A and B are shown apart, each in its own frame.
Chain A
Amino acid sequence: MYAQRPEARPATVEVLVDGQVVRVPEGASAAAAVLLAGLPALRSTPVGGAPRLPYCMMGVCFDCLAEIDGVPNRQACMVTVAPGMRIAPQRGARVAGPRA
């Protein structure tokens, strides 16, 4: 779990993390928003179904793969938040093909 420090970085950007409204500072990544929202897991692994949260925060580990604004398999740590961004967990492998 992570705590914000509004005195240092006020939370001004509203995003949706797994449907829940979260306010985070400008410049935060989607992965940071997930950690600040307190989500227990951002994805479950395609192989064993194990829960994962972001590990490296710098684009190396790919443990933060998420569905962002409807696009699956995005590295959440490499995407900067924008107002209204929808960040959703990815359970198992991403689904290929056109989405409903």
Chain B
Amino acid sequence: MSGHDLAIVGAGPAGIAAALEGAALGLSVLVLDEQDAPGGQVFRAVERAAGDPALAGDYATEGMALVRAFRAARGVEYRPGTTLWHIDTDTLRLSLLREGKAEEAGASRLLLATGAQERPVPIPGWTLPGVMGAGAAQILLKTAGAVPAGPVVIAGQGPLCWLIAVQMLRAGAGPVTLLETTRGSAATAALQAGGLWAGRRLLLKGLALVREARARGLRVVRKVRGLQALGEGRVEHVRWEGNTIPCGTLLLHEGVIPSTHVTRALGLEHRWDAAQLCWRPTLDGWGATSHDGIAVAGDGGGIGGWEAAVATGRLAALDAACRLGRIDTAERDRRAVPHRAALRRALALRPFLDRLYAPAPEVLAPADDSTLVCRCEEITAGQVRAAARLGATGPNQAKAYLRTGMGPCQGRMCGTTVAALIAAERGITVEQAGVLRPRAPFKPLTVGALAGLAKDDAA
């Protein structure tokens, strides 16, 4: 088993930045990533797709530069196509799956840079074929150059909705309609959060996107509530408060939340973030978790976007080098200065965005009893409420009542919704309802793969 100084899980902006910084400080770095190429979701497939005019912007310029630097780095062992399914928290031994075979790796320190996932948007009909996450459609554009055929409806809110609308229109899709769910009161609350001047660069980028979307013919309907996807066998219409429009592809988006599956499975300390309405691991200013040997960087530690992820990745690598005795704390602190400044700039607009695009209560806990919340086991909001009345005190107890969180996704999709429904029904906070505790394996593996590992150990 190879013993690296630092193992990094995830080759997105945070993982790449940490690898570059760590290697520059003389650490031997191992980077594991589930994808077959570096970039994470934000810069997914950038080496293949940077030339696509639909994706012009940060993706093609800064994303490409980051991935090029990663490819050129010395002292970094990169294992793409590698799935992490277990971490031994005593030894930091990692159990992996690559090309159908289980293998192991070891490191003195571990950095989890597992990024974000789209917040589930449980509306009636969201399991119909033709309904996807907006980010999912963007991944299709990046990895395959494909766009929806026929009328596209993007429903929800957040900067990504506008970016995807523009990219779809540039790529020739359409007509595209944006059903924006932002509430009227949100703008006032957002303005009170401030940060507009410090975050002006991001704000101007956003405004340019809105202008381009309008110029390219995006139809926008505001203050949409009561969304439903309708159709027989696939989505055919989208309905909201008395309006119905035809729809070939419905793309839902209510922002992103940290991917905390692994950090929760490890039993690391987490806290409920009331501003971003999600769980996040408890971290210090260097990304250190409640476990001595494990740190978190990037959106997996709280949503900040790719520029913040680069900064937190670099900070975590500096701390790793310090704890491994390569640099002293004074050197670490000195080198951290520019990254702390970059992090402040990247996060300046975040309070404004968090308030403007805070999901409505019905996104967190669907009002309609018949809405499916657990896609795997097909459990409705009404069933979860009934379980709460029978005594289920949180998502971990609900598993025994309903199997929510016990299907193949292990609660990645329903965990937060189940907790919010139970909290509302029992008159407690989401924090009191608790967070779903997943178990290893983090991703399914075959008995054959597992048995192969045991044989290798014996040899």
> What is the interface of chain A, defined by CB distance below 8 A to chain B?
1-5, 8-9, 24-29, 32, 35-36, 40-41, 45, 47-48, 50-63, 65, 71, 73, 75, 77-78, 80
Whether B54 contacts A45 by the Cβ 8 Å rule is: no
- What is the chain B residue whose CB lies nearest that of A31? B140
Whether B377 contacts A47 by the Cβ 8 Å rule is: yes
Chain B residues numbered 375-412 whose CB sits less than 8 Å from any CB in chain A: 375-378, 407-409, 412
Q: Give A22 to B259 CA distance when docked, in angstroms.
A: 33
Interface check B127, CB cutoff 8 A = yes
- Contact status of A55 and B52, CB under 8 A, knowing A24-B144, A28-B144, A73-B444: no
Interface check B233, CB cutoff 8 A = yes
Whether A55 contacts B148 by the Cβ 8 Å rule is: no
Q: Which of B37, B51, B132, B375 touches A57 (beta carbons < 8 Å)?
A: B132
- What is the chain A residue whose CB lies nearest that of B137? A57
> What is the interface of chain B, defined by CB distance below 8 A to chain A?
34, 36-37, 41, 45, 48-49, 51-54, 81, 83, 100, 117-118, 127, 129-133, 135-137, 139-140, 143-150, 171-173, 233-234, 248-249, 259, 375-378, 407-409, 412-413, 443-444, 446
- What is the chain A residue whose CB lies nearest that of B146? A2
Say how far B48's CB is from chain A's closest CB, in angstroms.
Answer: 5
Whether B248 contacts A29 by the Cβ 8 Å rule is: no
- Contact status of A32 and B140, CB under 8 A, knowing A25-B145, A61-B413: yes
Other CB < 8 Å A-B pairs besides A3-B173, A9-B145, A36-B144, 20 of them? A1-B150, A8-B49, A8-B171, A9-B48, A27-B37, A27-B144, A32-B140, A32-B144, A45-B376, A45-B378, A47-B377, A50-B127, A51-B129, A54-B132, A55-B131, A55-B136, A56-B136, A57-B136, A57-B140, A63-B127
Q: Which of B146, B171, B172 touches A36 (beta carbons < 8 Å)?
A: B146
Q: Which residues of A contact B139 (CB under 8 A)?
A: 57-58, 77
Q: Give A24 to B53 CA distance when docked, in angstroms.
A: 19
Q: Which of A8, A29, A51 touches B233 (beta carbons < 8 Å)?
A: A51
Q: Give A34 to B34 CA distance when docked, in angstroms.
A: 20
- Main SS of chain B's interface residues? loop
Q: Which residues of B contact A4 (CB under 8 A)?
A: 144-146
Whether A47 contacts B136 by the Cβ 8 Å rule is: no
Q: Give A52 to B372 CA distance when docked, in angstroms.
A: 13
Whether A57 contacts B376 by the Cβ 8 Å rule is: no
Q: Which residues of A contact B51 (CB under 8 A)?
A: 8
Q: Which residues of A contact B446 (CB under 8 A)?
A: 71
Q: Give A60 to B412 CA distance when docked, in angstroms.
A: 6
Q: Give A36 to B171 CA distance when docked, in angstroms.
A: 16
Q: Which residues of A contact B100 (CB under 8 A)?
A: 71
Say how far B296's CB is from chain A's closest CB, in angstroms.
Answer: 18
